[in-house]
Amino acid sequence: MTSTPFTVADYLLTRLKQLDVTEVFQIPGDYVKHFTQALEHFDGVTAIGAINELDAGYAADAYGRTRGLGAISLQYGVSTFSALNAIAGAYVERSPVVVISAAPGADARQIGSMYGVLYHHSTGNLNADEDVYRHVTVAAETLSTSVGAAEKIDALLVAALTHRRPVYIACYKEVWGEPCPRPAAARLRAHIARSEPLALENAVQQAWTQITAAKKPLIFAGVEVLRFGLSDLLQQLIDASGMLYTTTSLGKTVLDEQGDKFIGTYSDAASIGSVRECVLEADCFLTLGTIITDDYLWFVENKYADMVLATSEEIRVGYFKYSGVTMKDFMQALLQRFRLAKATYPLTCVAPPQPHYPDPWAANDDPNVGHDSQALTYNRFFQHAMKFLRERKLFDQIVMTYGVSSAMYVATNAYGLAQNSYISSAAWQCIGFETGAASGAQLGSGKRAWAIAGDGGFMMVCQSLSTLARNKLNAVIFVMSNAVYAIEQVYVDITSFEPGPQHQFDSFDLLPQWDYLALAKAYGARGFRVTTLDELDRTLQALQSLHDQPALVEVVIPQKDLPRQMYRLGIE
């Protein structure tokens, strides 16, 4: 009896399983069939059939953010190119995803060269996939033979772990099915870079001088702290220094949002007043793992010289930059300084009191919506949903997903969320991310996904609801239904939100009316439609008992509802 050979595909799947990747999001195809067939029968790694490439890409991204590494299997050309947007977002926002594909094999290349045959899904450049993916990965390679495949796969996986960014692995069509040695039992680990000692000492000394001279220092934490496993170190720094801290929108929930040192998330003008005031008054920012986007132009223009910045790519103190210094070493060295300075640290300052319920939601409600106490708005939705979650102690049992939308900015005002429970496309700013990400977030974290989408974003990837139903995930997709790209209209012409028929939305920002209840039924989800606060409260109760089935909740809000968070962003 002939035993089944251990193949290159088996090698990669074994390595992924060792790294706790137990699901691979998949779009099938003939070029990649040897890998997908191996995945179909591989013990311990499950193929998650996604409905399209963006769905699979967003899911793999969210899985990587919650599990530490994600994987997606794609067909050559038509599939890889369709997923490119999702992988670019993972690249920008530091989410390690293994992109797996296959290309025309050696026989096809020879025939194509001899006879001028254009193979399906090809541009004519058989290296085009790899060439394109080199722009949104930290390493990309197409294996033409099984010789050396194990070593090359290991190197690519180590690169993903080290940089917390995507990598691209493709094989010639036949290579995934070729024999390969089995991997070692030890799991792969990220490469640990070491700082140049003198550069580290110089950077820390300059930073210490700036920090100790400050009257109101503030820690500004970002998503890289979470991605690189430095959250415990950040907490130690907060405890040893006594400094207050905030986070970026992308870095929200880098820690559990508890204790008296968290002032709230800083999302520029969308922030609550006490957060903006703390940032305005601070004279030194220990900025750790923070990706500074154009959401923070005011901060850069006004606080650049006050920043002590440490990221995976740069160490900077004021205007001085230091090469050869790692973020982890820099944080550890500062922690040691704080612990030795017992006469001065920890500081005894405490964060301003959190807004008293129903604020910050009531204070940020659109004053032009009207006085109907039952009417739903962005802020009233969050007021009731957050109250529901808090009272039932559900913050540590859910993971929220957001694409760029008005809801994402409103949600940055929330307090009390659990670590790594707020996943957003706050830097790449992709409309529709939240719905596709829900399956990956739930499978990766083991927690229930709560996606809060604009109707425009949901319409882009509504088929993701089918993926949730197919896999019996009880994720909830809330659709803020106002039939307009509200976030786009804010930046096109914010006066469109003013009362009166003379103020109209641009036609390109208007959306069609959908029957969400019928859509939910078609996709195998449970459908709800809420138009009042009482209906919302009853629906939230009903969602508790929903298992093995996703829910689609249409939250009907006025078309001109403009939350004050978005209003401030639009005018400042």
Percent of the chain residues past pLDDT 70, beyond the cut: 99
Contact 285, 220 (CB under 8 A): yes
Nearest to 221 by CA among 293, 286, 272, 270: 286
pLDDT (tens digit per residue) in 65-111: 999 999 999 999 999 999 999 999 999 999 999 999 999 877 878 77
Secondary structure of 354-374 in HEC code, one letter for each residue: CCCCCCCCHHHCCCCCCCCCC
Give the model's pLDDT for residue 371: 75
Closest to 81 in 3D by CA, of 51, 108, 101: 101
Q: Does residue 198 contact residue 327 with C-beta atoms inside 8 Å?
A: no
Q: What percent of the chain has pLDDT over 90?
A: 92
In angstroms, the CA 446 to CA 61 distance is 15
pLDDT tens for 430-446 read: 999 999 999 999 999 99
Average pLDDT (269-295) is: 97
DSSP secondary structure code for residue 270 in this structure: G
Rounded to 5°, angle at Cα 414 from 429 and 465:
55
Q: Omega of the bond prior to 183 within 30 degrees of 0, cis?
A: no
Average model confidence (pLDDT) across the chain: 95
pLDDT score recorded for residue 4: 82
C-alpha 61/C-alpha 437 separation (Å) is 7
Neighbours of 280 (CB within 10 A): 12
pTM score of the predicted model: 0.96
pLDDT of residue 562: 95
pLDDT at 204: 98
pLDDT of residue 44 exceeding 50: yes
Mean pLDDT of all residues in 249-261: 96
Neighbours of 524 (CB within 10 A): 14
Nearest Cα residue to 256 out of 395, 383, 438, 424: 395
Please report the pLDDT score of residue 221 as a whole number: 98
pLDDT band, very low/low/confident/very high, at 1 (cuts 50, 70, 90): very low
pLDDT digits (tens, 9 = 90+) for 201-252: 999 999 999 999 999 999 999 999 999 999 999 999 999 999 999 999 999 9
Task: Please state the rounded mean pLDDT for residues 335-346.
Answer: 97
Count CB-CB contacts under 10 A for residue 199.
Answer: 15
